Structure formats: C-alpha cells, structure tokens
Amino acid sequence: MYPNDFRYTKDHEWVKIEGDEALVGITDFAQHQLGDIIFVELPAVGKELAVRQSLGVVESVKSVSDVYAPVSGVVVAVNEQLGQMADVLNKDPHGQGWIVRIKVKDKKDLGSLMTAADYEKFLEGLEH
C-alpha cells in the first residue's frame, strides 16, 4: 500500500529521495486521521531545518497538526498549490500532495527512517 521507494517516520511523514534532495509529505494514514484538510502552513524557501523540527502545520476540520522534518537540510521548494487546494493532501498524499523539498544536509538521517514494510508493521501496532 505504501510506496517502497519512500521512507517513513513514526510521526507519519514520508520521504522520497531524489539525488541530494528529499521530497516530504504526510502519509495516507495521517491524512485519514486528520480528516478533511482545509489549510496548510508552508515554511519559507531557504529555511534551515533540523531533524524533527516543525516545518509547517496541517489544519483539518478536526484538528491542527505539526509536520516534522524527517531529515535535516534547507527547504528548496514548497508545494504552492496547497495554498489554494489543501485538500490535495487528502486526494493524493503520496503524489501531488507533497509539502516540501529539502536539500539533505546529512544522508545519515535516512538511517533512522522506516521502510514501507516497517511502517506498515508500525501501523498494525497502532490499530490494536
């Protein structure tokens, strides 16, 4: 169900590595938990992020949740379409619903992230 070429956090962010950059978003599980997403606060391009630092906020009709940086680095792009169409996070969380692109500072950060299989096992533990 979850793309095998992605890595995942326990906070339900996903990372797709493309060269020395990481595309980051929230998982399908996260968007289901949030419900209808109505607003996304994006970081500024150029912002330097540490691992687990809040990079933005996702607001739904039910709650407000921080999105955390799964890797350290500098924001090189944000998904501007989320400003007008936040619900794309509900419709396509692993594709068009990406949130930021980060130039990765240290690829060692990836070692602490889960594979798709590990993430699915982690989710099974949450459902019991």
Per-position b or e across 71-104, b if 16+ CB within 10 A of its CB: bbbebeebbeebeeebbbbbeebbeebbbbbbbb
Q: What per-residue confidence (pLDDT) applies to 35?
A: 95
Q: Which residues pair with 40 in a beta bridge?
A: 58
The chain-wide mean pLDDT, for the chain, equals: 95
Tokens, residue 83: 């400003």
Q: Left (φ > 0), alpha (ψ -120 to 50) or beta: where does 73 sit? A: left
Q: What per-residue confidence (pLDDT) applies to 128?
A: 54
pLDDT tens column, 17-68 = 999 999 999 999 999 999 999 999 999 999 999 999 999 999 999 999 999 9
pLDDT tens column, 9-23 = 999 999 999 999 999
The DSSP element (H or E) to which 3 belongs, if any, is none
Instruction: Tell me the average pLDDT across 72-78.
Output: 98
pLDDT bin (cut points 50, 70, 90) of residue 1 is confident
- DSSP β-ladder status, 73-78 and 54-60: unpaired
Give all domains of the chain, ordered by start, each with its CATH number.
6-106+113-126 (2.40.50.100)
Tokens, residue 40: 């996304």
Decide: 17 and 6 in contact? Cβ < 8 Å: no
Residue 127 has pLDDT above 90, yes or no: no
Measured CA to CA, the distance from residue 71 to residue 32 in angstroms comes to: 24
CB atoms within 10 A of CB 64: 11
Residue 106 has pLDDT above 80, yes or no: yes
